[in-house]
């Protein structure tokens, strides 16, 4: 029976959720958030006739390396209503069972593939081929991987020609760069084993010319280098350049240098000379300098100088690189592209060091590129620099440029906030003047941390009735910016009250469209590319929380369509919401907002849509911890969002783990104080409990000053104590703005923003 897919994702969600094939909730939560041991403990104590549960158990036992039980449960997830709990776990009885005439489950092909992989480990190559031939031939990553596995079995059975032919046919079907790289690597490895280096080289070169990822390119380049070095294989110059470039991109500079020295030393031209400079800078700096001197008369000499400076920067010689950048830019003859790149790097370099030269280079950038999206940021940073130096008049000058010329920029909110602070400190401005500035700040950037802090402070000093009266006054004047401001103030005050819910109806569409755009996108749920059918088919993986399968399939959706990224984001956002993946729901909703130039404006969203952005994640654990430690739920939720974005398995480069990113030594101390011997920081409730304990300790230590507490959670109490001394006599706004670590400053601002948004949504309780 042919299935006609609906034109909108929203309709599909309604239709599927009314059926019986795919259900969410506990199974998706278990798949996304439980450990393999947790899934086994939860489900394996009884023989389940639910193919979804059996599929989850098959994956869990595979992760635990209990392969026989994994085969058992995968086999029992193949059919909707047929299980065999006495199945003998040998290839023939398993094959006979899964080849039976029964209604297949949505996971039939997935389970067959997993069974095939498991029997491959037992060297049952002929049976693996038979199992794979039971799968539907389709253009999925799953089938691609099955074909690759089949080719491995053919190779093990000494049927190399069949394996290569199978892979070549498959290459015609899967044209995305990732699939092409995987298949070409398999083809090349078989050919190379058979000493057919010419054809193997062609496959490796296919990887390099396709623009594959760095790992695949590096692997292909390594093999080509081996052929050059050991087999004396001959390649065209352009292919050798590609190979050396792939090695250099992987920081294998010595290997790249070997190819250049042995095969490309006499080659000239912009591309090869740039490559030589990059490689020599990291292997033989004197050669790079000598080559650069020889290139002085070339028309592209400036570009080569920039390449040299960039290579120095990347290897850590920033001081020398900056000298070269300045030499290029101060001559005043750099073309615009080079000037843009150099001025950007110099501007941030001097801003990081609070060096007055930042003003010189940011000003030059603004003069050359007045319409560039980075220009308002540079004006803001120049104003901020002068604010730090207490040059208030100059600070205001730059803030006013951002506010007046770039009102839609994110940095107009920052500038407006500090302009308000300056005005209040220097004089007692009229309320009308303040409201006018705040209205503009709010209209263009209603979700900025700066805007929300200001609105929250004002609304705290007003009653809901007085805010509503102000709104009505602005409504009479048809001052929509004023009305919007008081809508937000009432929302922060009372959440989704009846008054707030009806306010959006008072605005004309041409004013409110950017504020309602995201809600309309979610309501329609409409795909834009030809990928609808493929993306819709992923729901089965969301339903059981199979994140690996989701990412594997999406990784090969690479058809070059402009709206591909939008459709992928929509899939993640809506299925993430339905199946309780809080990271997918929130992060991809924000991607849609940014991509579509919509506005994060919660008062004009319904509560369920606002929850996509600010999910009540792991709320049972959070409620328990909040009660136990006397913390606000919004504090814990905000810090989880800022720390790990709701990913329980998050591990930072420095080793912080779990939802609240605790370092193991910190967690060990907390465990001792709580008298807990065994714990897993990747378990959501454990991370929340331990994190809440640490948050409460910091809250007491800093006497309830949330900015200090949040900063210390991110950067450590030792750093924060030093900063408090450094900024003695300064207020909390100054402390936050000039916190020395950029990461910590953004962390404080974002946590404050998230906290305000959570508390606004949650007014009246957590029920949605």
The residues carrying an active-site annotation are 643
Residue 116 token pair: 């095939």
Residue 753 token pair: 């923003």
Distance set, CA 512 to CA 111, 209, 482, 692 (Å): 49, 47, 13, 40
The DSSP code sequence of 361-399 is: HHHHHHHH-TTSTTHHHHHHHHHHHHHHTT-HHHHHHHH
Residue 116 near residue 146 (C-beta atoms within 8 A): yes
Q: What is the four-CA torsion angle of 286, 288, 289, 294, rounded to 10 degrees?
A: 130
Residue 710 near residue 748 (C-beta atoms within 8 A): yes
Residue 391 token pair: 């040059």
Q: Which of the 8 DSSP states describes residue 657?
A: B
Residue 621 near residue 506 (C-beta atoms within 8 A): no
Residue whose structure tokens are 């020599």: 280
Residue 680 token pair: 């897993």
Can you tell me the distance from the alpha carbon of 288 to that of 301, in angstroms, rounded to the nearest whole number?
Answer: 13
Residue 134 near residue 142 (C-beta atoms within 8 A): no
> Comparing C-alpha atoms, which of 706, 682, 683, 684 is closest to residue 695?
706
Q: Which of the 8 DSSP states describes residue 427?
A: S
Residue 550 token pair: 């989701």
Can you tell me the distance from the alpha carbon of 577 to that of 574, in angstroms, rounded to the nearest whole number?
Answer: 5
CA geometry: angle 256, 260, 264, nearest 5 deg: 150
Residue 737 token pair: 């703005």
Residue 627 near residue 748 (C-beta atoms within 8 A): no
Q: Who's near 647: CB < 8 A, 6+ residues apart?
A: 583, 659
Q: Within a 10 A sphere around the Cβ of 1, how many other Cβ atoms?
A: 2
> Comparing C-alpha atoms, which of 546, 525, 529 is closest to residue 141?
546
Can you tell me the distance from the alpha carbon of 748 to that of 638, in angstroms, rounded to the nearest whole number?
Answer: 10
Residue 574 token pair: 């809506």
Cα 579 → chain centroid? 19
Handedness of CA 251, 254, 255, 258 (dihedral sign): positive
Q: Containing H/E element for 667?
A: helix 664-674
- Beta-bridge mates of residue 79: 104
Residue 614 near residue 640 (C-beta atoms within 8 A): no
């Amino acid at each position: 029976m042919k299935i006609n897919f609906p034109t909108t994702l929203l309709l599909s969600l309604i239709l599927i959720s009314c059926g019986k094939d795919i259900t969410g909730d506990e199974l998706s939560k278990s798949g996304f958030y439980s450990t393999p041991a947790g899934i086994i403990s939860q489900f394996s104590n009884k023989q389940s006739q639910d193919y979804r549960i059996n599929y989850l158990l098959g994956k869990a036992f595979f992760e635990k390396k209990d392969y026989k039980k994994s085969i058992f449960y995968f086999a029992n997830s193949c059919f909707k209503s047929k299980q065999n709990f006495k199945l003998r776990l040998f290839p023939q009885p398993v094959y006979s069972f899964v080849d039976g005439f029964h209604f297949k489950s949505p996971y039939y092909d997935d389970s067959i593939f997993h069974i095939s992989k498991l029997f491959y480990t037992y060297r049952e190559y002929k049976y693996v081929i038979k199992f794979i031939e039971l799968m539907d031939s389709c253009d999925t990553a799953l089938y691609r991987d099955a074909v690759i596995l089949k080719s491995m079995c053919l190779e093990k059975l000494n049927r190399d020609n069949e394996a290569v032919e199978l892979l070549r046919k498959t290459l015609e079907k899967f044209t995305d760069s990732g699939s092409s790289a995987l298949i070409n690597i398999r083809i090349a490895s078989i050919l190379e084993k058979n000493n057919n280096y010419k054809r193997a080289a062609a496959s490796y070169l296919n990887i390099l010319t396709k623009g594959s990822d760095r790992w695949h390119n590096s692997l292909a380049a390594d093999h080509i280098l081996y052929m050059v070095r050991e087999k004396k294989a001959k390649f065209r110059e352009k292919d050798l350049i590609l190979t050396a470039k792939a090695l250099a991109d992987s920081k294998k500079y010595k290997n790249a240098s070997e190819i250049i020295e042995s095969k490309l030393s006499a080659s000239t031209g912009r591309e090869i000379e740039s490559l030589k400079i990059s490689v020599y800078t990291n292997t033989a700096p004197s050669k790079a300098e000598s080559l650069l001197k020889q290139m002085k008369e070339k028309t592209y000499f400036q570009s080569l100088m920039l390449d040299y400076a960039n290579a120095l920067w990347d290897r850590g010689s920033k001081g020398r690189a900056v000298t070269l950048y300045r030499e290029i830019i101060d001559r005043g003859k750099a073309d615009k592209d080079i000037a843009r790149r150099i001025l950007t790097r110099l501007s941030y370099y001097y801003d990081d060091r609070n060096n007055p030269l930042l003003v010189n280079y940011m000003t030059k950038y603004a003069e050359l590129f007045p319409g560039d999206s980075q220009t308002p940021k540079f004006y803001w940073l120049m104003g901020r620099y002068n604010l730090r130096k207490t040059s208030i008049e100059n600070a205001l000058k730059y803030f006013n440029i951002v506010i007046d010329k770039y009102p839609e920029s994110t940095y107009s909110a920052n500038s407006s906030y500090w302009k308000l602070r300056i005005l209040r400190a220097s004089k007692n401005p009229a309320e009308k003047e303040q409201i006018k500035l705040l209205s503009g700040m709010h209209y263009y950037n209603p979700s900025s941390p700066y805007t929300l802090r200001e609105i929250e402070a004002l609304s705290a000093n007003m009653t809901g009735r007085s805010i509503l009266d102000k709104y009505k006054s602005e409504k009479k004047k048809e001052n929509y910016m004023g009305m919007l401001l008081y809508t937000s103030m009432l929302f922060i005050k009372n959440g989704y009250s009846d008054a707030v819910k009806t306010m959006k109806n008072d605005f004309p569409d041409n004013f409110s469209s950017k504020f309602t755009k995201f809600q309309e996108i979610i309501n329609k749920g409409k795909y834009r590319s030809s990928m609808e059918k493929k993306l819709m088919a992923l729901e089965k993986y969301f339903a059981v929380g199979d994140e690996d399968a989701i990412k594997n399939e999406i990784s090969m959706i690479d058809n070059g369509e402009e709206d591909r990224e939008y459709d992928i984001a929509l899939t993640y956002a809506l299925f993430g919401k339905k199946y309780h993946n809080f990271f997918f729901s929130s992060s991809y909703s924000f991607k849609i907002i940014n991509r579509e130039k919509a506005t994060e404006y919660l008062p004009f969203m319904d509560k369920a849509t606002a929850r996509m952005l600010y999910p009540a994640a792991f709320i049972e654990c959070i409620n328990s911890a909040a009660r136990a430690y006397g913390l606000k739920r919004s504090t814990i939720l905000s810090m989880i969002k800022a720390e790990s974005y709701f990913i329980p398995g998050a591990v930072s480069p420095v080793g912080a783990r779990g939802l609240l990113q605790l370092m193991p030594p910190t967690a060990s101390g907390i465990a001792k104080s709580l008298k807990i011997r065994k714990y897993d920081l990747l378990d959501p409730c454990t991370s929340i409990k331990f994190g809440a304990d640490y948050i409460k300790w910091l809250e007491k230590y800093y006497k309830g000053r949330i900015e200090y507490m949040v900063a210390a959670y991110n950067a450590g109490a030792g750093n924060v104590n030093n900063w408090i001394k450094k900024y003695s006599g300064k207020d909390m706004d100054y402390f936050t703005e000039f916190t020395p670590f950029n990461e910590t400053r953004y962390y404080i601002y974002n946590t404050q923003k998230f906290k305000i948004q959570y508390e606004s949504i949650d007014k009246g309780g957590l029920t949605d």
